[in-house]
Amino acid sequence: MVKTPIVKEGYIYIAVLGLVTIITALTLGTYWALIPGVFTAFVTFFFRNPKRDVPEDDTLIVSPADGKVMGVTEVYDDQFLNDKGIKVTIFLSVFDVHVNRSPVQGEIKFQQYTCGRFKPAYKESASCENERHAIGLENDKMRVLVTQIAGILARRIVSWVTLGTMLKQGERYGLIKFGSCTELIVPGTVEIFVKKGDRVKGGKTVIGRLREE
């Protein structure tokens, strides 16, 4: 998918702020241009798209996002798994990379976009009330569900995939603009390696491993 150092969705923000910085410098002086200049630098930083070394193991589940683990809970998923599973909730601050990655290799068998509110992404109710986009991935070993959830600042969820898309493990598939949350639901047979409070990196941190039957 998108492999440029800065995702294209950030170009317009960077260009506009860069132009404002130049105009401010020419009309008001360098000192005043520092303010839009800082915003330009931050937006460029926000839309960064770093390369990651992804583990090559089809029994592993890697993190779909950068951020902080807000919870690891047992759930019953009736959207895609139709079975008991384990939900890992990851909160992304405005300082985290906001590109989402596929936790496993597989085909997108389920996709659903839901309009909603824009509560702070760290609130528990955000997962069922906020704007969100879910994809269900399936391979010959397991099914997993990944949901991008908009936050109070995020007003747009970007997806670069559709039903039937084959994703490699760790492959970039979408983006949430500004503060947000990502949820991952895996089968109950997965041994989870992370806990609440842990910091994770998308495509790099191993969330868990499928237990051998």
For residue range 90-142, list pLDDT tens digits in order. Answer: 999 889 999 999 999 999 999 999 876 555 544 554 455 668 899 999 999 99
Which has more confidence, 29 or 150?
Answer: 29
Q: In angstroms, rounded to a whole number, what is the distance separating the alpha carbons of residues 116 and 131?
A: 4
Q: What is the pLDDT of residue 3?
A: 74
Cβ burial 63-89 (10 Å sphere, 16+ → b, else e): bbbbbbbbebeeeebeebbeeebbbbb
Residue for token digits 């309009």?
Answer: 115
Q: Give the chain's mean pLDDT.
A: 90
Q: What is the pLDDT of residue 129?
A: 60
Over the stretch 33-53, which tens digit does the pLDDT of each residue have?
A: 999 999 999 999 999 999 999
Percent of the chain with pLDDT over 70: 88
Q: Which residues contact 182 (CB under 8 A, 6 or more apart)?
A: 64, 65, 67, 89, 90, 92, 100, 146, 147, 148, 149, 176
pTM, to two decimals: 0.87
Catalytic residues: 180
CATH 2.70.70 fits 60-210, yes or no: yes
Lowest mean pLDDT among 16-25, 89-98, 193-202: 89-98
